[in-house]
């Protein structure tokens, strides 16, 4: 019989994006003998976190740790104190900053630490690149590194993570909310114009300028189209400024975070991504589960969900000419678009169950806590 365990999920949130939603999906499906708690850092721009509210809605305990500035090493001792007070058996970290602080705290507290990389940023900013590098160094001292995709497994090998540390658990999400919206006939799906949509962080690796360029060309040929962005991020101000200068600006809408995200996703005639680097995006899983046709660039991570001409359409990276052709095919050939959407629903439900993922993590947590301290992998 599996023993009861206390697992601390630790993240330094930047909003309510894929990693935050992923934590909620995992903890929702973990069995009852796994007690999940959450620790988040509080910075000047991260008060009243939606993640904390959603975690509490699962009747689980969340801890908020004040952080002075962007990086505060005092958080390490606060985490150690929390681990000891709450009798935490394993700490599970998500993100560069949380990996650095969480790995350090786990080693001081003498407990296993699991690091889950959700994706790597090809950032131009020197400070962010430094955080990424430090986070990747911290991973080498984790008990286990569990990336979300085979491509991310290859990435962490390049960063020096040793094979015994590396374990692959295929990504999974809680799709019940999507299914409820998809099957609710009271939530309308049609819009006066063909609606192209993006959901996610507005950061450099999402390559959103390519979406604006492609939409501009599409709009010049088809006036009955509009472009909707859901989400926020560092790149949003520059993107909005660029959009204002375009002839099609009246049909480009930046909606930010929305509680009716899934209802809006249902209204999309096409879901688009032009990322240059990804894990396995949750927003893409949700689009597949909704049955919304997808067109994206063919990169690792995306190709785990989208098989060209079966569950969506994939253009070679940076081929915006072919990307535009695929947008038009998905938008203006409804029978073909429905076939792609139906196939995507079947595929994501079969391969990306949140319950299956949680069962594999539960087995990992049990295995780590069963090991003697001397059996932990050392860097």
Q: Which two tokens stand for residue 283?
A: 């927003």
First-to-last C-alpha distance (Å) of the chain: 32
Q: Domain 5-172+353-375, what architecture?
A: 3-Layer(aba) Sandwich (3.40)
Pairing of strands 294-298, 313-316: parallel
CA angle 79, 281, 230 (to 5 degrees): 95
Q: Identify the burial level of 10 via C-beta atoms within 10 angstroms of its C-beta, where 0-12 means exposed, 13-18 middle and 19 or more buried.
A: buried
CA 194/CA 221 separation, integer angstroms? 13
Give the whole-number percent of the chain exceeding pLDDT 90. Answer: 72
pLDDT at 243 over 60: yes
Per-residue pLDDT at 118: 87
Query: What does residue 344 show for φ and ψ, rounded to 5 degrees?
Result: -65, -40
pTM of the model: 0.70
| For residues 59-76, average pLDDT | 91
Comparing 9-18, 86-95, 283-292, 321-330, the range with the smallest average pLDDT is: 9-18
pLDDT at 151 over 90: no
How does pLDDT run across 33-44, given as a tens digit for each residue? 999 999 999 986
CA 39/CA 12 separation, integer angstroms? 8
Identify the band that residue 375 occupies on the pLDDT scale cut at 50, 70 and 90.
Answer: very low
CA angle 334, 271, 55 (to 5 degrees): 135
Query: What does residue 114 show for φ and ψ, rounded to 5 degrees?
Result: -110, 125
The topology (CATH level 3) of 176-351 is: Rossmann fold (3.40.50)
Question: Contacts from 54-61 at CB under 8 Å and sequence distance 24+?
Answer: 54/16, 54/24, 55/23, 55/24, 55/27, 58/24, 58/27, 58/28, 60/27, 60/36, 61/37, 61/86
Identify the band that residue 72 occupies on the pLDDT scale cut at 50, 70 and 90.
Answer: confident
> Helix 282-290 crosses helix 334-351 at what angle (to 10 degrees)?
120
Give the whole-number percent of the chain exceeding pLDDT 70. Answer: 94
Per-residue pLDDT at 188: 79
pLDDT at 125 over 80: no
pLDDT at 160 over 80: yes
CA 326/CA 379 separation, integer angstroms? 46
**65 forms bridges with which residues in the sheet?**
41
CA 33 from chain center: how many Å? 26
pLDDT at 123 over 70: no
Q: Identify the burial level of 44 via C-beta atoms within 10 angstroms of its C-beta, where 0-12 means exposed, 13-18 middle and 19 or more buried.
A: exposed
Is residue 102 within 8 Å of 91, Cβ to Cβ?
A: yes
Identify the band that residue 59 occupies on the pLDDT scale cut at 50, 70 and 90.
Answer: very high
How does pLDDT run across 325-367, given as a tens digit for each residue? 999 999 999 999 999 999 999 999 888 888 889 999 999 999 9
CA 286/CA 148 separation, integer angstroms? 16
pLDDT at 122 over 70: no
User: Nearest CA to 357 among 103, 112, 22, 62?
Assistant: 22
Q: Which residues contact 44 (CB under 8 A, 6 or more apart)?
A: none
The single residue listed with the structure tokens 């998809």 is 182
Per-residue pLDDT at 128: 66
> Could you tell me the strand order of the sheet in which 225-230 lies?
252-254, 225-230, 194-199, 270-273, 294-298, 313-316
Could you give the residue range(s) of every CATH 3.40.50.2000 domain in the chain?
A: 5-172+353-375, 176-351
CA 267/CA 187 separation, integer angstroms? 9
pLDDT at 149 over 90: no
How does pLDDT run across 191-209, given as a tens digit for each residue? 789 999 999 999 999 999 9
- Mean pLDDT for the chain overall: 91
């Amino acid at each position: 019989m599996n023993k009861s365990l206390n697992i601390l999920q630790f993240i330094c949130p930047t909003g309510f994006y894929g990693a935050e939603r992923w934590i909620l999906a995992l903890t929702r499906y973990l069995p009852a003998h796994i007690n999940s708690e959450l620790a988040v850092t509080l910075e000047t721009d991260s008060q009243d976190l939606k993640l904390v509210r959603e975690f509490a809605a699962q009747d689980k305990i969340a801890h908020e740790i004040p952080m002075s500035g962007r990086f505060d090493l005092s958080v390490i001792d606060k985490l150690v104190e929390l681990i000891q007070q709450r009798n935490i058996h394993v700490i599970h970290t998500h993100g560069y900053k949380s990996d650095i602080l969480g790995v350090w705290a786990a080693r001081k507290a003498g407990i296993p630490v699991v690091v889950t990389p959700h994706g790597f940023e090809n950032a131009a900013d020197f400070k962010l690149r430094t955080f990424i590098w430090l986070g990747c160094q911290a991973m080498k001292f984790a008990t286990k590194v569990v990336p979300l995709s085979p491509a991310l497994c290859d990435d962490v090998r390049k960063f020096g993570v040793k094979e015994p540390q590396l374990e692959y658990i295929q990504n999974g999400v809680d799709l019940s909310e999507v299914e409820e919206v998809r099957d609710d006939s009271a939530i309308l799906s049609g819009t006066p114009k063909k609606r192209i949509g993006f959901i996610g962080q507005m950061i450099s690796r999402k390559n959103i300028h390519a979406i604006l360029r492609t939409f501009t060309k599409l709009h010049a040929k088809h006036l009955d189209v509009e472009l909707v962005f859901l989400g926020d991020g560092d790149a949003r101000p520059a993107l909005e400024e660029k959009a204002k200068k375009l002839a099609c600006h009246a049909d480009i809408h930046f909606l930010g975070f929305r509680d009716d995200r899934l209802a809006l996703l249902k209204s999309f005639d096409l879901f688009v991504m032009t990322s240059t680097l990804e894990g396995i995006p949750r927003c893409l899983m949700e689009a597949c589960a909704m049955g919304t046709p997808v067109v994206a660039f063919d990169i690792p991570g995306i190709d785990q969900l989208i098989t060209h001409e079966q569950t969506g359409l994939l253009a070679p990276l940076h081929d915006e000419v072919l990307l535009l052709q695929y947008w038009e095919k998905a938008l203006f050939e409804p029978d073909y678009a429905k076939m792609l959407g139906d196939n995507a629903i079947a595929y994501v439900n079969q391969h990306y169950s949140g319950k299956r993922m949680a069962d594999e993590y539960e087995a990992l947590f049990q295995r780590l806590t069963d090991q003697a301290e001397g059996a932990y992998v050392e860097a």
